[in-house]
Every structure is written in structure tokens, then in C-alpha cells.
Amino acid sequence: MRTSWTISRERVRQIRRREGLQVVKKRRKRKCLGMTTQWVYRAEYPNDVWSYDFVYDQTEDGRQLKCLTVVDEFARQALAIRLGRSLTASDITRILDELFRQHGRPTCLRSDNGPELVSKHVQNWLKDQHVHTHYIEPGSPWQSAYNESFSSIFRTPCLDRCLFGSITEARVIIDHWLEEYNTLRPHGSLGGMTPKKYLQRWTEANIDHQPKFLTG
């Protein structure tokens, strides 16, 4: 027959102190944050500030679709949407390297503190490329307003309206939508011009004052 005793909380504390016992307190894990090397507010010219982030969806079979969006904040130009089942830190640097070769290196890259974006691999690679980083504060998406706005525009007329049968189909449809976004969709913030037209007008007006990396 089992017997039991009632013991007060204070008595437990006394025994614990007498025996030198301690209750291990659980420490709350802290999320790793990226190291900001340049705080930027707004882009002053093309290739000044790019922002990038992930947007998630899925294919018809329920498997994850992970999209990396890269936006030039000055002209609101969507430089790329790259997608896969998963995208690692190595994938990110490979994609950025491709875009740097195509468009030139930006002065600064703005992003949130997603694990792939704050990885040492990405941060060290950007440092080697002489590209500054601006990581927004946790829980402050408005600090990356341009990319947040683009992600919303991308999701509503494209991701939310299309049921992708495969990742290949998703790539084709998203690439077509991206071309329309840059060349056909007018932006109120650009005076009713498309990103492509706005960039063309700016280039023509500032051809003698562009930074060297824009003119080759």
C-alpha cells in the first residue's frame, strides 16, 4: 500500500537550500540577428539599395514552393524571383552573384533576419563583395516597405490566383508575371510609369552624373 506526505512549498525550498540544490532555469533562446554595416533610409539612385526576402507558396501536391524576391528600391524594379523547394545560404549567394554580374553590385542590401539571410556564409560573402548590409529590426516589416509591398503585389495577382502543377510550371508563370510587372504595370509612386520606363527616363536625365558602376 502506497503512502504519501503533504509538504509545503516553503519546506521544499528549505530542503533544497540545505542540500545545495538549485532549480535550473530555462533560458529563452535568442534569435540570431544579422550585423548591419550601413543603416539606409531610402535609395538615391539605381543600384543604391536592393532588398530581398522570401515568399512561400505550394504546388498542387502540397509541397513547399520557396521564392526569393530581389527588388531595386529606387526604380521599384523586380530584379529576380528565384524559386525552389528549398533555398539555402549557398543558393542565395549564387543567385546574388548572377544578379551582380547582370546589373552591377548594389551599395547595400536590405533584409529581415531570416536564418538564411543572416548566415555567416551570406554575410561574409557580401563583405568580400564590398556590399553593405541593413538588417531590419525584428517585428518591424515596415522598415523594408518596398519589398513588403512587392511581396503583397506578387502574392495577390499571381500566387493566390494560380494553382501550380509543378515547379517548372510555377517558374514559367512567375517569369511571365515578372516581365509584366516590370514592363506593363504602372506605379503611382513612379508617376504612373513602369519600373522599366522610370529607369530609362532616369538614366537619360542623369547620364553625366551616374556612379561609375552604373556606366561601366
Pairing outcome for strands 108-111 and 49-58: parallel
In this predicted model, what pLDDT tens digit does every residue of 92-149 receive, in sequence order? 999 999 999 999 999 999 999 889 999 999 999 999 999 999 998 888 887 788 888 9
pTM over 0.75: yes
Distance between CA atoms of residues 190 and 98, nearest Å: 27
Are residues 137 and 113 in contact, defined by beta-carbon separation less than 8 angstroms? no
Comparing CA positions, the residue from 113, 100, 96, 106 lying closest to residue 75 is: 106
Dig out the grid coordinates for 60 from the structure: 498542387
pLDDT value, residue 208? 63
pLDDT value, residue 12? 75
Domains located in the chain, CATH noted: 49-206 (3.30.420.10)
Residues 6+ apart with CB under 8 A from 121: 89, 90, 93
pLDDT value, residue 106? 96
Are residues 129 and 104 in contact, defined by beta-carbon separation less than 8 angstroms? no
- Tens-level pLDDT at each residue, the chain (216 residues): 556 667 777 777 777 777 776 665 666 656 567 778 778 888 999 999 999 999 999 999 999 999 999 999 999 999 999 999 999 999 999 999 999 999 999 999 999 988 999 999 999 999 999 999 999 888 888 778 888 899 999 999 999 999 999 999 999 999 999 999 999 999 888 999 999 999 999 998 887 655 544 434
Query: Starting at the edge strand that comes first in sequence, how are the strands of the sheet with 64-72 ordered?
Result: 77-84, 64-72, 49-58, 108-111, 132-135
